[in-house]
Homo-oligomer: A and B are copies of this chain.
Amino acid sequence: MTDMKARPGHLARRFQQIAVAIFHAEVEKVGSDLTPVQYAALATLRGNPGIDQATLAAAIAYDRPTITGVIDRLEQKGLITRRVSDRDRRARVLQITEAGEAELDRIEPAVDAAQHVILRGLDADEAAVFLRLLHKAIDATADLGRVLHRDPPGTGAVD
């Protein structure tokens, strides 16, 4: 039997698990409880004001049920607003609020710090190679289709 712990699938999970734990630890240092997916949603809405939930879900590769919960929580926190689209009454159009912008500004340094901690075992050259190969591996599976945008129950979503 192959050593399970040497398998890419196992390493992928450990790496993600560590990345999430580091994210939480760093943003907690600045007194925020924003989760990775909440952060991803907020940052995407700042760059793309007025997109709808489905577009947001696709942009950050989370499934729609997860995004719906995330949007609920961000709205409860006053960080975003949601309203019915003028063009499609079934769609909900999202906007980041001033409080949402302020929260992003406040935690951005912590999120940056987390990225460095995640890769602290690698020197600059190694990190560059690693990220290039990680991108390449991810891109090569994009054609496996929409299923890969589904977060299986309890996977990585951290809503």
Contact = CB atoms under 8 A, between A and B. Distances in A.
Interface in A72-113: 108, 111-112
Interface in A13-32: 13-25
Interface size class of A (residues with CB under 8 A): 35 or more
Contacts of A136: 121-122, 126
A111 to B, nearest CB: 8
A124 interface: no
A64 to B, nearest CB: 15
Contact of A157 (B138, B148, B154): B154
A24 B115 contact: no
Q: Does more than half of chain A's interface fall in helix, strand or loop, or is it mixed?
A: helix
Contacts of A121: 136-141
B43 A8 contact: no
A24 B140 CA distance: 18
Interface string A119-150: 11110001001110111111111001001101
Across the A-B interface, the 7 shortest Cβ-Cβ residue pairs: A121-B140, A16-B16, A12-B19, A130-B133, A154-B157, A12-B16, A9-B19
